[in-house]
Structure 1
Amino acid sequence: MVVRRFSLWLRGKPLVADSMLAFGLLLLDMTGLADSDEKVVYLVIGGLLPLPVAFRRAYPRAMAALLLLFAITTTLVNHLLGDHSIHPALLALGIMLYTLVAYVGRVEGLLLALGLAVDSALSVTLLDQPVLSTVAFGALFYALCWTLAEFNGARHAYDAEVAARLAVADYDRERRTHEAVALERTRIARELHDVVAHAVSVIIVQADGAGYALRRDPDAAEQAVHTIASTGREALRELRRTVALLRTEHAPDQLPQHGTAGLARVVEMMRGTGLAVELELTGELDTIAPEVSLGVHRIVQESLTNTLRHAGAHPKAWVRVQRRVTDVLVEVTDSGGVPVTVPAGPIRGSGLGLVGMRERVAVLGGTLSAGRRHDGAWHVLATIPLSIESVE
């Protein structure tokens, strides 16, 4: 249990873990001190070789170049001094090759591999090392490090993509929950409006009638006052019931961030899942009405979520949002394809996303068209007017 906790703790502190690895290489290198004729030089070189390993994940390219420089320098110094001792700390070269391939890329790993080939050639030429054993050991060791890096790099990339997709799914569920709450609050607000408007209208009409009938027909005036009282009591009961419903729900602590920042946040999140997104924003989008900004945000969000679900193993999407003179144009196009799955199963929606987008655009007085083009890509095009007028 203690070892497991320590291992989990080290995962979050790469500098500590790499420093421990470097210290281990230092101790290993000290085992060859007895075979060296130049012990001071050996100690200096043995102390320098493990140093880049301690910072290999913080600065992988720079540390790889530095370690390769140390290795070539070691070969040249040993040749000049006539010292044919071997530094076990040179195993750090394989560790650095693994680091570049797993955390940076194959191109950088290939460049280091070429540098390692040069170092091996110098060792064979200048230090009279056996060609066959040196080449065979070096090729086998570096190939093993490269293969291990490919395996772990692919696993890390897969885990990161799955985690990103699950994060998008959680975000999508949270968004839908917030929208459901907002929809319920809108329904309650409309009900509240109907109750108050109806009650106030009745009270005003009855009060006017009672004023006219107060002297001519006291009975009618009394009936009107009675109606006013009963209507007021009923309206009060309805208000109390509606307020009680409002108090049972808690509004989200943070409202969605809209405008260019909100769109950039959605696009960045989708890119983390492996969805290649190109975003084009034109015009001043941060000063439009909140209702329009929210509509644009939701259309882009829902379209990209659908692209992630339905546009194949390597999906791409192009998003264009343009503020024009009288409206905002939103256009989302994807590459089309066959849905992919994750270990927990495919990420499925409720099937109401397109319906929800149409309803939202209709409420804002805009238009929306969506469908598959002749080339198989899915295309969403919406226009939302900048001026929103309330309709009773």
Structure 2
Amino acid sequence: MRRFSLWLRGKPFIADMLLAGTLFFFEVVSFFSNVEMMSPMLFVVGAAALSAPIAWRRRHPRTVAWAVLASSLIVTLGGLAVGERADIHPAALALPIMLYTLIAYVGRREGLLYLVGVLLDGGLAVWALHDDAVFFVLFTVLLYGFAWIAAEFLGARRAYDEAVEAKLLVAEYDRDRRAEEAVAHERTRIARELHDVIAHGVSVMIVQADGASYAIRRDPDRAEEAVANISATGRQALAELRRTVALLRTTPHSEDMPMYGTAGLAKVVDMMSRAGLNVELEQTGNLDDISPAISLGIHRLVQESLTNVLRHGGHAPRARVAVVRREEDILVEIVNGAGSGTSAVEGTGNGLLGMRERVAVLQGALEAGRTADGRWRVRAELPLE
């Protein structure tokens, strides 16, 4: 029975057809149980006119409501014309049903107008002239009052359900939007990390390979040193790449984290020096007790900037790195020395874009451009909190 009820709830037209059939059935029962019926044809037509429109009550509530009211008036007047009583038509329950339908699906104003029309219907006047007038009037008031209250309750429930559904749709949309933003943010972060790892190592290897190709005949020892640096840089880049991929796959552990802070900066400077970049490093203040995110940001800024100097600094590139911890922020400044201006490797601009994104994530400020004497400077201020 419960399954049937749930099935009907999803098929309102079939439920209304069953309701109309029920009203017509009770009309037929009342016809055979009352000997006062004088016109069977009038009875059948009236019963069909009252009950049949109920099947479309939710599809066309206004039209059906006034059609039922008009049918009730015609049936009442026709019954009076042939001498039949007006209180033996169970299908007249279609009137309070349509009052309920109008209030629930259209509005109180339509329901109030319809109730006025029902009061003006000749059927109520006939009921008032009945022998049990008080009973019929009380029954009518209770019936229509119940229909009104039930419609108000259903309307409030439907409004609540619609509000809840709207909130759920908004929450679902917001959840999907947040998920998309999280995915885009994560993809950007991964791309930035991979670029910093791969581009740095590959750029150093390319510069070293170019130097080795020039020195392989004139200075074999220097070429051998460059090849050794290429091998060491490649192994380090591969190890860092594997570590980054491992962090993406699993939960990071402290022993898996790369080395940052003062030791990490010194390691980057040492590797760049072995690659042929003359680097001057200045570190002021304690840089080992700051948050991992800021420490990683400093490390990547220095790494990317020195890589760019090595790639674009021309012959005998030089750079100065200053990392200063101040009261409220950390100043990171990388300035390249005067070089020939030639570029060993053509850039794409992704490095600078990645630095801007990283600094923006850390709520900092980044300036990158040429100074008055023609040098290139990257300056970042990263707040500690």
TM-score greater than 0.5 by the shorter chain: yes
> Which of these residues, 90, 94, 97, is aligned with residue 96 of structure 2?
94
In structure 2, do the counterparts of structure 1 residues 246 and 115 end up closer, same or farther at CA, with 3 Å as the change threshold?
farther
Secondary structure of 2:2 counterpart:
helix
In structure 2, do the counterparts of structure 1 residues 56 and 245 end up closer, same or farther at CA, with 3 Å as the change threshold?
farther
Aligned to 2:72: 71
For residues 61 and 242 of structure 1, the distance between their equivalents in structure 2, rounded to whole angstroms, comes to 68
The question of whether the paired residues in 2 share the 8 Å contact of 1:26 and 1:47 is answered with: yes
For residues 61 and 127 of structure 2, the distance between their equivalents in structure 1, rounded to whole angstroms, comes to 29
Aligned to 1:28: 26
In structure 2, do the counterparts of structure 1 residues 60 and 241 end up closer, same or farther at CA, with 3 Å as the change threshold?
farther
Moved more, 200-209 or 110-119: 200-209
For residues 227 and 45 of structure 1, the distance between their equivalents in structure 2, rounded to whole angstroms, comes to 103
For residues 9 and 137 of structure 1, the distance between their equivalents in structure 2, rounded to whole angstroms, comes to 33
Identity between Structure 1 and Structure 2 (%): 53
Aligned to 1:150: 152
Aligned to 1:190: 192
The question of whether the paired residues in 2 share the 8 Å contact of 1:75 and 1:126 is answered with: no
Aligned to 1:18: 16
Aligned to 2:162: 160
The question of whether the paired residues in 1 share the 8 Å contact of 2:26 and 2:90 is answered with: yes
Moved more, 221-230 or 148-157: 221-230
Aligned to 1:202: 204
**Residue 66 of structure 1, CA deviation:** 1.4
Secondary structure of 1:31 counterpart:
helix
Answering whether residue 185 of structure 2 is matched by residue 211 of structure 1, we say no
The question of whether the paired residues in 1 share the 8 Å contact of 2:128 and 2:136 is answered with: no
The superposition leaves residues 60-97 of structure 1 with CA deviations (integer Å, 9 ceiling, x where unpaired) of: 11111211121111122222323225211110111111
Aligned to 2:110: 108
In structure 2, do the counterparts of structure 1 residues 66 and 42 end up closer, same or farther at CA, with 3 Å as the change threshold?
same
In structure 2, do the counterparts of structure 1 residues 239 and 233 end up closer, same or farther at CA, with 3 Å as the change threshold?
same
**Residue 241 of structure 1, CA deviation:** 6.1
Segments of structure 1 that go 5 or more residues without pairing to the other structure are 249-358, 364-391
For residues 68 and 195 of structure 2, the distance between their equivalents in structure 1, rounded to whole angstroms, comes to 74
Answering whether residue 57 of structure 2 is matched by residue 49 of structure 1, we say no
In structure 2, do the counterparts of structure 1 residues 158 and 70 end up closer, same or farther at CA, with 3 Å as the change threshold?
same
In structure 2, do the counterparts of structure 1 residues 233 and 107 end up closer, same or farther at CA, with 3 Å as the change threshold?
same
Secondary structure of 2:115 counterpart:
helix
In structure 2, do the counterparts of structure 1 residues 87 and 184 end up closer, same or farther at CA, with 3 Å as the change threshold?
same
Aligned to 1:172: 174
**Residue 108 of structure 1, CA deviation:** 1.2
For residues 54 and 148 of structure 2, the distance between their equivalents in structure 1, rounded to whole angstroms, comes to 17
The question of whether the paired residues in 1 share the 8 Å contact of 2:72 and 2:123 is answered with: no
For residues 172 and 142 of structure 1, the distance between their equivalents in structure 2, rounded to whole angstroms, comes to 44
| Count of residues paired in the alignment | 250
For residues 249 and 77 of structure 2, the distance between their equivalents in structure 1, rounded to whole angstroms, comes to 79
The question of whether the paired residues in 2 share the 8 Å contact of 1:210 and 1:225 is answered with: yes
For residues 76 and 244 of structure 1, the distance between their equivalents in structure 2, rounded to whole angstroms, comes to 88
Q: Which amino acid aligns with 1:96?
A: M
For residues 245 and 5 of structure 1, the distance between their equivalents in structure 2, rounded to whole angstroms, comes to 51
The question of whether the paired residues in 1 share the 8 Å contact of 2:96 and 2:143 is answered with: yes
**TM-score, normalized by length of structure 2?**
0.58
**1:109-148 equivalences in 2 (<5 Å):** 109-119=111-121, 121=122, 123-124=124-125, 128-129=129-130, 132-148=134-150
Q: Which amino acid aligns with 1:43?
A: V
**1:1-392 equivalences in 2 (<5 Å):** 3-34=1-32, 35=34, 36-85=37-86, 86-119=88-121, 121=122, 123-124=124-125, 128-129=129-130, 132-236=134-238, 238-239=240-241
For residues 51 and 155 of structure 1, the distance between their equivalents in structure 2, rounded to whole angstroms, comes to 28
The question of whether the paired residues in 2 share the 8 Å contact of 1:60 and 1:104 is answered with: yes
**Residue 53 of structure 1, CA deviation:** 1.3
For residues 221 and 94 of structure 2, the distance between their equivalents in structure 1, rounded to whole angstroms, comes to 104
The question of whether the paired residues in 2 share the 8 Å contact of 1:56 and 1:99 is answered with: yes
Q: Which amino acid aligns with 2:221?
A: D
For residues 67 and 217 of structure 2, the distance between their equivalents in structure 1, rounded to whole angstroms, comes to 105
The superposition leaves residues 95-130 of structure 1 with CA deviations (integer Å, 9 ceiling, x where unpaired) of: 1111111122111111111111111x4552699546
Segments of structure 2 that go 5 or more residues without pairing to the other structure are 251-359, 365-379, 381-385
Higher-Rg member (1/2): 2
For residues 240 and 105 of structure 2, the distance between their equivalents in structure 1, rounded to whole angstroms, comes to 63
In structure 2, do the counterparts of structure 1 residues 95 and 29 end up closer, same or farther at CA, with 3 Å as the change threshold?
same
For residues 172 and 63 of structure 1, the distance between their equivalents in structure 2, rounded to whole angstroms, comes to 41
Q: CA RMSD in A?
A: 3.0
